[in-house]
Amino acid sequence: MSAGVVIYTRVSTAGQEDNFSLSTQEAACRQHAAGKGWVIVEVQHDVASGANRSRSGLKRALVMIERGEADTLLAHSLDRISRHQIDVAVIADRVEAAHGHLVLVTEDFEQSPVGTFIRSARAFAAEVELAKISERTARG
């Protein structure tokens, strides 16, 4: 990896209700990158729901990959990227089309049709969890 890594972190609310603080995610990503000998060129973060499809930090990270300013998008877990199956597929496609890599600290998907399927299944699970969160929130 020559261009380096852009770390992306996300929490749903300012109150960190999902127990994945930005600093904890960033620390895990930094440790993962250090273990691989990767150079971190940027850290982007968002405080927004995984259902929010318009997140400025993620947009900036993707643009960096597409411009060749970084070649790896590193996040703690898939649900930090998005809780929508289609969004995960589009984001992964954008990264791969730019000859970049989507890397997750907690999950490693092989670069094959089977790996793509497993990533899609995990994205499905994240979307189901989002629906459950919405239901619980509505119930109060």
State pTM to two decimals.
0.80
CATH number at residue 107: 3.40.50.1390
Residue by residue, pLDDT tens for the chain (140 residues) are 457 999 999 998 776 545 558 999 999 999 999 999 999 999 999 998 767 778 999 999 999 999 999 999 999 998 899 888 889 889 999 999 999 999 999 987 667 665 565 655 665 666 677 666 656 666 66
Number of domains in the chain: 1
As a three-state string, the secondary structure of the chain is CCCCEEEEEEECCCCCCCCCCHHHHHHHHHHHHHHHCCCEEEEEEEECCCCCCCCHHHHHHHHHHHHCCCCEEEECCHHHHCCCHHHHHHHHHHHHHCCCEEEECCCCCCCCHHHHHHHHHHHHHHHHHHHHHHHHHHHC
What domain range is 75 assigned to? 5-139
